[in-house]
Structure 1
Amino acid sequence: MLKKDLNPELIQSLCTDSEKALQFIADLKWEDGFVCRKCGHTNYCKGKSFASRRCTRCKREESATANTIFHNCKFPIHKAFYIVYSVCIEKRKISAKELSDELKLNPMTCWKFRRKIKECIEQHQDKPSDEISLIDILLPT
């Protein structure tokens, strides 16, 4: 189901540390190697921000969260990862208000991000629910 083994310790660290969560997303995103979305070049160097990569040909920088469910996420990535975990892995029926209280975020922020996750899940409705992987949710595009 998942390419990476998601043990409880890893999940705990991803939901509490933004750098670890970003690195995990980058590792998933570029598991098969970096390919520049602008020019198709495969060579890169480290980008200006953490876990980003810069194409050595066209100099375009791509963050780990670009073109993922975390794209344009304005709140800490580890909190976003916690919401993904709550909705997808634990499959809890948790309200936006409960998430808001737990994470100290605006309820509307939690509601919108939860809706974004559910839209990604709906895109994969042709698959049986036990075959939808976390990778399908995190990297929808």
Structure 2
Amino acid sequence: MPVAGKDYPITWSQFLDWFHSEESCRTYLVGLRWPTGFICPKCGFLGNVTQSSRGRWVCPACKRQSTVTAGTIFDKTRTDIRVWFAAIWYITSQKNGVSALGLQRVLGLGSYETAWTMLHRLRRAMVLPSRELLTGEVEVDETYLALTERGNHKSGKSSKCNTTKALVVIAVEILQPKGFGRIRVQRIEKADSAHLIPFIWESIDASANIHTDGSTAYNKLKEKGYDHRRTVHLGSDIQAHDSMPGVHRVAALLQRWLLGTHHGAIQPKQLDYYLDEFVFRFNRRTSKSRGLLFYRLLQQAVVTRPVTYKKITGKS
């Protein structure tokens, strides 16, 4: 486990002392990306390499030149790394997240487009494929999210809005005697077994006890080795939000978060990354250290592949 005050700053004042220059930020990134020594991204050479005068590492084996930001979400960015660090600290210190317009105002960025792109790059670093599966008692259900698709995100304003609905599936760990653990949320095209079973298999451990409604889409769960309990709500005196409180509470919080922080104005093709941010925040809601969240997100940022603005907007 990283140590507070040694591996990451504890307060904003300490943050300013640690990352007062561009050089100090890049040095910190080197320790995160190559804690055991430089690793060449081309040939895999591992060892100590002398840094060149231009701030690059030259692999002694294949002679490839590398930088600490190459191949990360900071790749080819024209924004100072010091500004990126401030953005990550601000984003992780806000309990309910921030909008691109809010980030632009706080950091004094020159354009809304820059803040919007930074947020989308960071959202891609909020979830790692190797995360642990959900365990114990897990509720699973589907719900629809109301989205407002706006025409022009560059200016932060809109001249035309279209309302659409997106289908998502939610899985929630149920703690005993009460409370909720971690969650998983994913958009799906259809609420059938072809879409729900793969989500469950990739998100929930086979030892878990799964609780669903009476949909036939979950009938194959026992074939996968899961302990499956069904609750049929049709004609029952027990309301769905009483028999399955976890998924309904998370669904309500998710919709409120989309409307409150982002005013529901989300491009449907970008929804997956907003869901990743919501999961990242929800699963770390009990963390008392904002500095540790800053450290974890930065740690994931240096192992996440880069993405361009054109790719984010689908124009590439």
Same fold? TM cut 0.5: yes
Q: Amino acid of the residue matched to residue 136 of structure 1?
A: Q
Structure 2: gaps (5+ residues): 133-181, 183-282, 288-292, 306-316
Whether 2:115 is the aligned partner of 1:110: answer yes
Aligned to 1:82: 86
Q: 1:120 aligns with which of 121, 125, 135?
A: 125
Aligned to 1:67: 71
Residue 14 of structure 1 and its aligned partner are, at CA, apart by 5.1
**TM-score relative to the length of structure 1:** 0.79
Distance 1:66 1:59, change over 3 A: same
Q: 2:57 aligns with which of 49, 53, 59?
A: 53
Q: 2:301 aligns with which of 126, 129, 137?
A: 137
Structure 1: gaps (5+ residues): none
Q: Amino acid of the residue matched to residue 105 of structure 2?
A: D
Deviation string, structure 1 residues 47-72 (Cα, Å, up to 9, x no partner): 3433x321112221111111222112
Structure whose alpha-carbon radius of gyration is higher: 2
Deviation string, structure 1 residues 3-61 (Cα, Å, up to 9, x no partner): 623332442245542111111001111102112121222242213433x3211122211
In angstroms, what is the RMSD of aligned CA positions?
Answer: 2.7
Q: Amino acid of the residue matched to residue 51 of structure 2?
A: K
Whether 2:8 is the aligned partner of 1:5: answer yes
- Structure 2 CA distance, aligned partners of 1:7 and 1:61? 34
Deviates more, 1:66-75 or 1:120-129: 120-129
Distance 1:55 1:6, change over 3 A: same
Could you say which structure has the higher helix fraction? 1
Distance 1:34 1:125, change over 3 A: closer
Would the aligned equivalents of 1:120 and 1:137 in 2 still touch at CA under 8 Å? yes
Runs of 4+ in 1 over 3 A off after TM superposition: 13-16, 89-92, 122-128
Q: Amino acid of the residue matched to residue 115 of structure 1?
A: H
Could you say which structure has the higher strand fraction? 2
SS in 1 for 2:50: strand
Deviates more, 1:6-15 or 1:111-120: 6-15
**TM-score relative to the length of structure 2:** 0.39
Using the aligned pairs only, state the percent identity.
21
Distance 1:5 1:104, change over 3 A: closer
